Amino acid sequence: MTSIAMIEAAAERLAGHARRTPLLSSPFLDEIAGRPVFVKAECLQHTGSFKFRGAFNAISALAPNGVIAFSSGNHAQGVALSARMKGIASVIIMPSDAPVIKIDNTRALGAEVILYDREGEDRDEIGARLSAERGLTLIKPFDMAEVIAGQGTTGLEIAQQAAKAGITDAQVFVPCGGGGLSSGIALALEARAPGMQMHPAEPEGFDDVARSLMVGAIQRNNRLSGSICDAIITPQAGNLTWPVLQRLAGPGQVVSEAEALRAMALAFDRLRIVVEPGGAVALAAALFRPGEGPVIAVASGGNVDRAMMARALAV
Amino acid sequence: MTSIAMIEAAAERLAGHARRTPLLSSPFLDEIAGRPVFVKAECLQHTGSFKFRGAFNAISALAPNGVIAFSSGNHAQGVALSARMKGIASVIIMPSDAPVIKIDNTRALGAEVILYDREGEDRDEIGARLSAERGLTLIKPFDMAEVIAGQGTTGLEIAQQAAKAGITDAQVFVPCGGGGLSSGIALALEARAPGMQMHPAEPEGFDDVARSLMVGAIQRNNRLSGSICDAIITPQAGNLTWPVLQRLAGPGQVVSEAEALRAMALAFDRLRIVVEPGGAVALAAALFRPGEGPVIAVASGGNVDRAMMARALAV
pLDDT tier for residue A1 given thresholds of 50, 70 and 90: confident
The answer on B153 and B119 residing in a single domain is no
- Tens digits of per-residue pLDDT, B270-310? 999 999 999 999 999 999 999 999 999 999 999 999 999 99
Instruction: Select from A142, A118, A125, A107 the least CA-distant residue to A225.
Output: A118
- Asked if A111 and A143 touch (Cβ cutoff 8 Å), the reply is no
- List the single best residue of A272, A306, A311 to mutate versus B (max B Cβ within 10 A): A272
Which of residues A135, A159, A185 is at a domain's end? A135
Tell me how close the Cα of A150 comes to any Cα of chain B, in angstroms.
21
Q: Is residue A56 part of a domain?
A: no
**A44 and B27: CB-CB below 8 Å?**
no
Complex prediction ipTM: 0.95
Helix runs in chain A, H state only? 4-14, 27-33, 51-62, 74-86, 100-108, 123-134, 145-164, 180-192, 208-215, 241-248, 257-271, 281-288, 306-313
Interaxial angle between packed helices B306-313 and A306-313, expressed in degrees from 0 to 180 and rounded to the nearest 10: 160
| Alpha carbon distance A148, A57 (integer Å) | 9
- In the sheet that holds B23-24, the strands lie side by side as B23-24, B37-41, B295-299, B170-175, B196-203, B253-255
Q: Is residue A305 part of a domain?
A: yes
The answer on B220 and B89 residing in a single domain is no
CA A54, distance to chain mean position in Å, is: 9
The answer on B36 and B69 residing in a single domain is no
pLDDT tier for residue A123 given thresholds of 50, 70 and 90: confident
Residue, of B18 and B64, whose pLDDT is higher: B18
Q: What is the mean pLDDT of residues B33-47?
A: 98
Percent of chain B residues past pLDDT 90, beyond the cut: 91
The answer on B122 and B264 residing in a single domain is no
Q: Is residue A271 part of a domain?
A: yes
Q: Is residue B235 part of a domain?
A: yes
- Tens digits of per-residue pLDDT, B6-17? 999 999 999 999
Q: How many residues are given for chain A?
A: 315
Which of residues B135, B159, B181 is at a domain's end? B135
Q: Is residue B59 part of a domain?
A: no
The answer on B191 and B174 residing in a single domain is yes
Report pLDDT for A174: 98
Provide φ and ψ at A293, rounded to 5°.
75, 180
| Alpha carbon distance A145, A252 (integer Å) | 23
Q: Is residue B261 part of a domain?
A: yes
Instruction: Select from B24, B46, B47, B48 the least CA-distant residue to B36.
Output: B24
- Tens digits of per-residue pLDDT, A47-97? 999 999 999 999 999 989 999 999 989 999 999 999 999 999 999 999 998
Q: Which residues of B fall within a CB distance of 8 Å from A109?
A: 27
Strand partners, B64: none
Provide φ and ψ at A133, rounded to 5°.
-60, -40
Q: Which of B19, B48, B273 is closest, CB to CB, to A274? A: B273
Between strands B137-138 and A66-70, the pairing is unpaired
Residue type, B244: V
Instruction: State yes or no: pLDDT of A303 exceeds 80.
Output: yes
Average pLDDT taken over every residue of chain B: 96
What domain range includes position A81? 65-135
- 10 Å Cβ neighbour count for A289? 17
Percent of chain A residues past pLDDT 70, beyond the cut: 100
Report pLDDT for B94: 93
Q: CA angle, B40 as apex, B39 and B45 as ends, to 5°?
A: 140
**A268 and B306: CB-CB below 8 Å?**
yes
Q: Is residue A60 part of a domain?
A: no
Q: What is the mean pLDDT of residues B133-138?
A: 95
The answer on A204 and A303 residing in a single domain is yes
Q: Is residue A55 part of a domain?
A: no
The answer on A242 and A209 residing in a single domain is yes
The answer on A159 and A46 residing in a single domain is yes
Instruction: State yes or no: pLDDT of A9 exceeds 90.
Output: yes
- Asked if B118 and B95 touch (Cβ cutoff 8 Å), the reply is yes
CA B98, distance to chain mean position in Å, is: 20
CA separation, residue A260 to residues A36, A220, A296, B293 (Å): 19, 22, 16, 41
Instruction: State yes or no: pLDDT of B232 exceeds 80.
Output: yes
- Asked if A41 and A24 touch (Cβ cutoff 8 Å), the reply is yes
**B109 and A309: CB-CB below 8 Å?**
no
- Asked if A203 and A19 touch (Cβ cutoff 8 Å), the reply is no
Inter-chain CB pairs, A–B, below 8 Å: 73
Q: What is the mean pLDDT of residues A298-312?
A: 96
Domain of B249, CATH number, reads 3.40.50.1100
Q: Which residues of A touch B (CB under 8 A)?
A: 16, 19, 21-22, 24, 27-28, 31, 41, 43-44, 48, 81, 105, 108-109, 164, 265, 268-269, 271-275, 302-303, 306, 309-310, 313-314
Number of folded domains that form chain A: 2
Instruction: State yes or no: pLDDT of A119 exceeds 90.
Output: no
Q: Which residues of B touch A (CB under 8 A)?
A: 16, 19, 21-22, 24, 27-28, 31, 41, 43-44, 48, 81, 105, 108-109, 164, 265, 268-269, 271-275, 302-303, 306, 309-310, 313-314
Report pLDDT for A98: 86
Q: How far apart are the first and last CA of chain A?
A: 43
Tell me how close the Cα of B228 comes to any Cα of chain A, in angstroms.
18
- Asked if A178 and A200 touch (Cβ cutoff 8 Å), the reply is no
- 10 Å Cβ neighbour count for A221? 18
Report pLDDT for B97: 87
pLDDT tier for residue B130 given thresholds of 50, 70 and 90: very high
Report pLDDT for B25: 98
Which of residues B91, B115, B135 is at a domain's end? B135
- Asked if B213 and B246 touch (Cβ cutoff 8 Å), the reply is yes
For B77-98, give one letter per residue: b (16+ CB within 10 A) or e: bbbbbbbebbebbbbbbbeeeb
**B306 and A28: CB-CB below 8 Å?**
no
| Alpha carbon distance A81, B166 (integer Å) | 19
- In the sheet that holds A66-70, the strands lie side by side as A112-116, A89-95, A66-70, A137-138
Q: Which of B44, B109, B306 is closest, CB to CB, to A24? A: B44
The answer on A112 and A80 residing in a single domain is yes
Residue, of B72 and B111, whose pLDDT is higher: B111
Q: Which residues of A fall within a CB distance of 8 Å from B269?
A: 306
Q: Which residues of A fall within a CB distance of 8 Å from B310?
A: 310, 313-314
Residue, of B95 and A176, whose pLDDT is higher: A176
Q: Among the listed ranges A73-87, A95-109, A235-249, which one has the minimum average pLDDT value?
A: A95-109
Q: Which residues of A fall within a CB distance of 8 Å from B268?
A: 274, 306, 309
Instruction: State yes or no: pLDDT of B315 exceeds 80.
Output: no
- Asked if A44 and B271 touch (Cβ cutoff 8 Å), the reply is yes
Strand partners, B193: none
Report pLDDT for A315: 76
Q: What is the mean pLDDT of residues A98-117?
A: 92
Report pLDDT for A281: 98
- Tens digits of per-residue pLDDT, A36-54? 999 999 999 999 999 999 9
- List the single best residue of B21, B39, B266, B272 to mutate versus A (max A Cβ within 10 A): B272
The answer on B277 and B166 residing in a single domain is yes
Contact residues for B293 (Cβ-Cβ < 8 A; gap 6+): B35, B36, B169, B170, B171
Give the three-class secondary structure for A297: strand
The answer on B189 and B46 residing in a single domain is yes
Q: Among the listed ranges A123-132, A204-213, B26-35, B83-92, which one has the minimum average pLDDT value?
A: A123-132
Tell me how close the Cα of B154 comes to any Cα of chain A, in angstroms.
16
- Asked if A203 and A229 touch (Cβ cutoff 8 Å), the reply is yes
- Tens digits of per-residue pLDDT, A150-209? 999 999 999 999 999 999 999 999 999 999 999 999 999 999 999 999 999 999 999 999
The answer on B14 and B130 residing in a single domain is no
